[in-house]
Chains A and B, each alone.
Chain A
Amino acid sequence: MVQLQLQTTPSQATATNQWAWLPSLRLALVIWRRNWHVFLKNAFTDVTGLVMEPIITLGAIGFGLGQFVGQMQDGQSYVEYVAPGIAAGYAMFNALFDSAFGFYMRMSSQRVVAHMLETPVEVQDLALGEMLWSGTRGMIACTIILTFAAALGLVASPWAVLVTPAGFLVGLAFAGIGISASAAARSMNSVTLVFTLLATPMYFFSGVFFPITSLPGFAQPLVWALPLTPGTYLIRGLMRGDVGWEHLAAALWLAVFSTVFFFLTRWLLRRRLIK
């Protein structure tokens, strides 16, 4: 048969690959842009879906239920209290919808992801690109609700401009959860579990609708560990304008959570996609 000679020396090969695990921001942004393009194409349906539900919630819960609640402990009206929570909650739902259902589709039946992995894209670029995109979805949702709340006079401080990046952080954290769930799921049905087991309970117990001090003592550290509680805390502080170091800590916690999930996501995607 053929005489085979190799010109590559091992040292050359290792030298080029020391940083091989690092994602390429350029490729991640190509993926981000692809999703942005699809989002714009369906913008009307997407944005309508994005806006209607939180606004209905804000109207029904904030103004409707709020009349029976009276004032919150620190003198806020209930609707002022609940608006930032809804902003954080819908950052979560939007990021999760895209990273769980949307990404699952792109990865399974649509083979969009399979094609990416035939190009110079590596799994870590995919993880980063999809996380940045879902983070963006969270940011868009959060910003729309912020604008609406501002129009209703529910925003008290210029700090509120930081709600947009805060929404991105919340989205990023949930993107990590959503993509991990997709990568581990065996079917679309199991992806649904992220909503029933995680997102919905979090939405009700993370300080969106009532202070978590009302929860039993053992549950409080638990809800702080999950990203919606720090997210809600952060966005509420920014909308009210009483911002302290604890809010920075909450933002950092979201960043750390997202970073850890980036690596988990990369590992799970590698396990699923590289066979």
Chain B
Amino acid sequence: MQPIVIARNVVKRYNELTAVNGVTFAVNQGECFGLLGPNGAGKTTTIRMVCAISPPTSGELFVDGKDVVRSGRQVRAILGVVPQGDDLDPDVSVYTNLLIHARFYGLPEPEARRRVEETLEKVRLADRRKSEVDALSGGMKRRLAIGRALLTRPALLAIDEPTLGLDPHNRHLIWDWFREVKRQGTTLLLTTNNMDEASALCDRLIIIDHGRILAEGTPQELVGTHAGTQVLEIRVTADRREMYRARFAQRGLESYEAGSALIVPMTDGTALSQELEHDGVSALRRPATLEDVFLRLTGRDINEDMR
């Protein structure tokens, strides 16, 4: 089956600023694909181009075989879009927000109203149907926005930072919906900088920074390739960090800084951690995670930002 999203050398420039600098990827039908990257990496810009909201400066971008620039209307007709932040209509009720949305997709009125009811139940806002949007909590707004995008039963659900700023209850509820619609065959494209979210949901992901793809694979592959099986997390004062990095390098071990910690990816850290404890340095030995991959691949840039 042809991938539902095909991006080849896609570039987006805003005047002199290059937000997305030549990305190539494909999203397969029915999978959950993640764009993982630090703030300002170009995730939002990328997802907006895929959703035919923002035209690429150059490159090729097809969704369901259609060019996003030439056939934007047809592309958007099969998408469900949840943008970053909130774009609910503050002038109308919760119910009417959903109803108007359904009309934009040409659903016949009785069917539209039926789906609005269904959605209200699903997002647990049936008792708030008459509320103004401004009277809803952040979690409720997010649920409404996601329910609205799912109401039209999209082939591809594109969500920018789905659970940013939500409490764990809402987060898990929303993750469950995503798993459910995926089981029903919906493809998911999401951006996140939350590692738990990426590991919990994504079949495959790309890590991007400065508008470029740094790595691609399943969460396990990425951890295996870029962070090893285990890591040692060492806390030493800043002046001793370079000394330790040099010592690790002598043994052929790469290390990188994450905040005030020094992280060493490795296959078996038993010997080294004992040695460090002997030195009086506290070393935490733990399984490698996606967060280690993220920090390693994008870490230097974050430090540059902070400088």
Q: Which A positions have Cβ atoms within 8 angstroms of B? A: 1-2, 4-8, 13-14, 16-17, 20, 26-27, 30, 33-34, 37-38, 41, 110-112, 114-122, 274-275
Contact = CB atoms under 8 A, between A and B. Distances in A.
- Of B6, B25, B55, B79, chain A has the most CB atoms within 10 Å of the CB of B6
A115 B92 contact: no
Interface stretch (B96-104, B220-228, B247-255, B270-278): B96-104
Contact of A122 (B62, B73, B86, B91): B73
29 contacts: A1-B24, A1-B25, A2-B25, A4-B3, A4-B6, A5-B2, A6-B60, A7-B2, A8-B65, A16-B71, A17-B71, A27-B104, A30-B104, A33-B103, A34-B89, A37-B92, A37-B96, A37-B100, A38-B91, A111-B87, A112-B87, A114-B83, A118-B83, A118-B87, A120-B105, A121-B104, A274-B54, A274-B55, A275-B54
B60 to A, nearest CB: 8
A118 B6 contact: no
B203 interface: no
B26 interface: yes
A8 B66 contact: yes
Interface in B60-102: 60, 62, 65-67, 70-74, 76-77, 79, 81, 83, 85-92, 96, 100-101
Given A2-B3, A6-B65, A117-B53, A112 B104 contact: no
A34 B25 contact: no
A122 B77 CA distance: 11
Given A121-B104, A275-B14, A110 B89 contact: yes
Interface majority SS (helix, strand, loop, mixed), chain A = loop
A207 B70 CA distance: 47
A8 B62 contact: yes
Contacts of B2: 5, 7
B53 A110 contact: no
Nearest to B2: A7
Given A2-B25, A7-B2, A274-B54, 7 more contacts: A17-B70, A20-B70, A110-B91, A115-B87, A116-B104, A122-B72, A275-B54
B92 A38 contact: yes
Contacts of B8: 4
The 10 closest A-B pairs by CB, nearest first: A119-B104, A111-B87, A118-B81, A115-B87, A2-B26, A30-B103, A38-B91, A120-B77, A8-B65, A120-B73
Contacts of B201: none
B291 interface: no
B51 interface: yes
Contacts of A13: 66-67, 70-71
Contacts of A33: 100, 103
Contact of A119 (B24, B66, B105): B105
A2 B67 CA distance: 19
A38 B90 CA distance: 10
- Of A37, A117, A120, chain B has the most CB atoms within 10 Å of the CB of A120
Contacts of A1: 24-25, 216
B54 A120 contact: no
Interface of B: 2-3, 6, 8, 14, 24-26, 51, 53-55, 60, 62, 65-67, 70-74, 76-77, 79, 81, 83, 85-92, 96, 100-101, 103-106, 216
Contacts of B103: 30, 33
A26 to B, nearest CB: 7
A73 B100 CA distance: 53
Contacts of A111: 85-87
Contacts of B54: 274-275
A97 B92 CA distance: 20
B104 A120 contact: yes
Given A111-B87, A112-B91, A4 B24 contact: yes
Contacts of B66: 8, 13
A37 B105 CA distance: 18
B100 A114 contact: no
Nearest to A4: B6
A1 B76 CA distance: 27
Nearest to A116: B104
A105 to B, nearest CB: 9
Contacts of B3: 2, 4
Contacts of B6: 4, 6
Contact of A110 (B51, B72, B90): B90
A7 B79 CA distance: 20
Nearest to B77: A120
A165 B18 CA distance: 50
Contact of A16 (B51, B60, B74): B74
A274 to B, nearest CB: 7
Given A118-B81, A120-B76, A34 B71 contact: no
A37 B103 CA distance: 14
A273 to B, nearest CB: 9
Nearest to B24: A1
A20 B70 CA distance: 8
A111 B53 CA distance: 14
A50 B98 CA distance: 30
A24 to B, nearest CB: 8
Contacts of A120: 73-74, 76-77, 104-106
